[in-house]
Amino acid sequence: MASPLLPASQGIRCVDGGSTNPAMVSGVCEFSGSGNPTGVITPNQAVDGYADTTNGFYWIATGNTPSNWALVNNGSPIVMTANVTVSLAAINANPVTIVPAVSGHTLTPIFWKIIIAGTLGGSGTFTLQDTNSSPVNIMSATYAAQGNFLAMGTGFTFYSSEGATLSGVTYGAGMCAALTTGQGIQVAKMSSLTTITGYQVIVDYIVK
């Protein structure tokens, strides 16, 4: 990434501010790492860059302190996609986070796709929600609804566009609306589900 403000001839030196490997690109330090750099990585100058290699976000420094990082959106919301397979053991034990929180920012889910694999047994409603202690629900599918999906064939897929018309599938307040600021997206714990192999969960969401 080139900078018209700080050409390489000025001799700006990249310094490793943490568990990163900064490189000089046209006078700008390009950092990389996992997660949000705010409060963690110290930029050398405004316009330094940071790539979150785990979640696919990119940040630009607005100054030279750890608090001076801004999520890049080029004036428009950032649309991201999560594609996560959730196992039976995981979902019966705890809520499973499929989209990590972005500190100081809000996620808005705009599309979901769920593929059920295996033979359904036991009981439990499948729920997508945010990770807040009082979670905002995005969607839910009753056990009966999931059974109806699987009756159509193993690996049956259902989409958000079908949710409003499928019996047993409901949208929560978080569908196409802002979730709790600074929270991610999770599949709620189910506890009593049996025999199913798992769920493939795909969510498109906007970061603001």
**Parent domain of 150:** 78-207
Q: What is the pLDDT of residue 118?
A: 74
Q: Which residues contact 143 (CB under 8 A, 6 or more apart)?
A: 120, 122, 123, 124, 125
Averaged confidence pLDDT in the chain: 79
CA dist 160 → 36, 84, 118, 151 (Å): 29, 16, 21, 19
Q: What is the pLDDT of residue 53?
A: 82
- Please report, as a single letter, which amino acid is at residue 102: V
Contact 141, 168 (CB under 8 A): yes
Q: What is the pLDDT of residues 13-29, one digit of tens each?
A: 465 444 455 665 556 78
Clarify whether residues 58 and 113 are in a common domain. no
Domain assignment present for residue 2? The answer is no
pLDDT above 80: residue 108: yes
Contact 47, 60 (CB under 8 A): yes
Q: What is the pLDDT of residues 46-98, one digit of tens each?
A: 778 888 888 778 888 888 888 888 887 655 667 888 999 999 889 888 999 99
Domain count within the chain: 2
Domain assignment present for residue 99? The answer is yes
Contact 202, 109 (CB under 8 A): no
Clarify whether residues 143 and 127 are in a common domain. yes
pTM for this model (two decimals) = 0.68
